[in-house]
Amino acid sequence: MSDEKYFQNITARERAIFEGAITMGALFHQFVGTPVSFESANSLENAIMNSLELQPCINGVNVKIDRRILKESENEYQYLSLTGDMLDVQVVSEYGGVTVKVRMRYIEELHYPLMYVEEVD
Protein backbone atom coordinates (compact mmCIF):
# COMPACT_ATOMS: atom_id res chain seq x y z
CA MET A 1 0.00 0.00 0.00
CA SER A 2 1.33 3.43 -0.93
CA ASP A 3 1.48 6.30 1.51
CA GLU A 4 0.72 8.86 -1.22
CA LYS A 5 -2.87 9.49 -0.05
CA TYR A 6 -1.58 10.62 3.34
CA PHE A 7 0.59 13.31 1.77
CA GLN A 8 -1.72 14.50 -1.02
CA ASN A 9 -2.25 17.83 0.75
CA ILE A 10 1.41 18.90 0.44
CA THR A 11 3.78 19.53 -2.46
CA ALA A 12 6.82 17.43 -3.36
CA ARG A 13 8.98 20.26 -1.97
CA GLU A 14 7.13 20.18 1.34
CA ARG A 15 7.36 16.38 1.50
CA ALA A 16 11.11 16.44 0.88
CA ILE A 17 11.52 19.03 3.67
CA PHE A 18 9.22 17.03 5.96
CA GLU A 19 11.21 13.81 5.48
CA GLY A 20 14.51 15.58 6.11
CA ALA A 21 13.17 17.30 9.21
CA ILE A 22 11.67 14.11 10.65
CA THR A 23 15.02 12.39 10.16
CA MET A 24 16.86 15.22 11.88
CA GLY A 25 14.46 15.02 14.84
CA ALA A 26 15.02 11.26 15.04
CA LEU A 27 18.77 11.85 15.09
CA PHE A 28 18.59 14.30 17.94
CA HIS A 29 16.22 12.35 20.15
CA GLN A 30 17.71 8.95 19.44
CA PHE A 31 21.44 9.66 19.69
CA VAL A 32 21.96 12.64 22.00
CA GLY A 33 23.09 11.19 25.30
CA THR A 34 24.96 8.28 23.70
CA PRO A 35 28.31 7.63 25.36
CA VAL A 36 31.14 8.72 23.05
CA SER A 37 34.92 8.93 23.30
CA PHE A 38 37.62 10.19 20.99
CA GLU A 39 38.28 6.56 20.01
CA SER A 40 34.61 5.64 19.41
CA ALA A 41 33.54 8.82 17.57
CA ASN A 42 34.16 7.38 14.10
CA SER A 43 32.08 4.26 14.73
CA LEU A 44 29.27 6.36 16.25
CA GLU A 45 29.28 8.67 13.21
CA ASN A 46 28.95 5.61 10.96
CA ALA A 47 26.18 4.10 13.10
CA ILE A 48 24.20 7.35 12.97
CA MET A 49 24.65 7.64 9.20
CA ASN A 50 23.68 4.03 8.56
CA SER A 51 20.63 4.34 10.78
CA LEU A 52 19.33 7.60 9.33
CA GLU A 53 19.80 6.50 5.72
CA LEU A 54 17.10 3.87 6.35
CA GLN A 55 14.46 6.60 6.73
CA PRO A 56 12.10 7.16 3.76
CA CYS A 57 13.36 9.54 1.04
CA ILE A 58 16.81 9.96 2.63
CA ASN A 59 19.58 9.69 0.05
CA GLY A 60 22.55 10.87 2.03
CA VAL A 61 23.70 11.61 5.54
CA ASN A 62 26.95 13.19 6.69
CA VAL A 63 27.75 13.18 10.41
CA LYS A 64 30.72 14.83 12.08
CA ILE A 65 31.36 14.71 15.82
CA ASP A 66 33.59 17.55 16.99
CA ARG A 67 36.78 15.83 18.13
CA ARG A 68 38.04 19.10 19.63
CA ILE A 69 35.25 19.02 22.23
CA LEU A 70 36.00 15.38 22.99
CA LYS A 71 39.70 16.10 23.43
CA GLU A 72 39.16 19.21 25.56
CA SER A 73 36.66 17.44 27.80
CA GLU A 74 38.64 14.28 28.52
CA ASN A 75 37.99 12.92 31.99
CA GLU A 76 38.89 9.93 34.14
CA TYR A 77 36.01 7.88 32.66
CA GLN A 78 37.32 8.25 29.08
CA TYR A 79 33.96 9.21 27.57
CA LEU A 80 31.29 11.90 27.44
CA SER A 81 27.62 11.92 26.60
CA LEU A 82 26.99 13.12 23.05
CA THR A 83 25.41 16.59 22.96
CA GLY A 84 23.95 18.68 20.17
CA ASP A 85 26.85 21.11 20.21
CA MET A 86 29.21 18.26 19.24
CA LEU A 87 27.28 17.46 16.05
CA ASP A 88 27.46 18.79 12.52
CA VAL A 89 24.98 16.80 10.44
CA GLN A 90 23.64 17.17 6.92
CA VAL A 91 20.72 15.07 5.66
CA VAL A 92 19.84 14.93 1.95
CA SER A 93 16.19 14.17 1.29
CA GLU A 94 14.68 13.62 -2.16
CA TYR A 95 11.07 13.35 -3.18
CA GLY A 96 9.29 13.96 -6.46
CA GLY A 97 12.35 15.43 -8.16
CA VAL A 98 13.04 17.84 -5.28
CA THR A 99 16.28 17.59 -3.31
CA VAL A 100 16.56 19.18 0.13
CA LYS A 101 19.58 19.53 2.41
CA VAL A 102 18.69 19.81 6.07
CA ARG A 103 21.45 20.68 8.51
CA MET A 104 22.09 20.72 12.22
CA ARG A 105 25.18 22.39 13.60
CA TYR A 106 26.16 24.46 16.57
CA ILE A 107 25.77 28.16 15.79
CA GLU A 108 28.14 30.09 18.04
CA GLU A 109 26.24 33.39 17.89
CA LEU A 110 23.02 31.62 18.95
CA HIS A 111 24.74 29.33 21.49
CA TYR A 112 22.51 26.60 20.09
CA PRO A 113 22.65 23.48 17.87
CA LEU A 114 20.24 24.76 15.20
CA MET A 115 18.33 22.54 12.75
CA TYR A 116 17.49 24.32 9.50
CA VAL A 117 16.81 23.89 5.80
CA GLU A 118 20.16 24.59 4.18
CA GLU A 119 19.22 24.19 0.51
CA VAL A 120 16.26 23.29 -1.72
CA ASP A 121 16.81 22.27 -5.37
Domain carrying residue 14: 4-120
Q: In this predicted model, what pLDDT tens digit does every residue of 64-98 receive, in sequence order?
A: 999 999 988 878 888 999 999 999 999 999 999 99
Q: What is the DSSP letter of 110?
A: T
What is the pTM for the complete model shown?
A: 0.90
The DSSP secondary structure of 15-29, one letter per residue, reads HHHHHHHHHHHHHHH
Question: CA 75 to CA 15: how far, in whole Å?
Answer: 43
Counting the structural domains of the chain, the total is: 1
Q: In this predicted model, what pLDDT tens digit does every residue of 33-65 receive, in sequence order?
A: 999 999 999 999 999 999 999 999 999 999 999
Specify the CATH number for the domain of residue 96: 3.30.1300.20
Q: Where are the alpha helices (DSSP H) in the chain?
A: 12-31, 41-52, 67-72
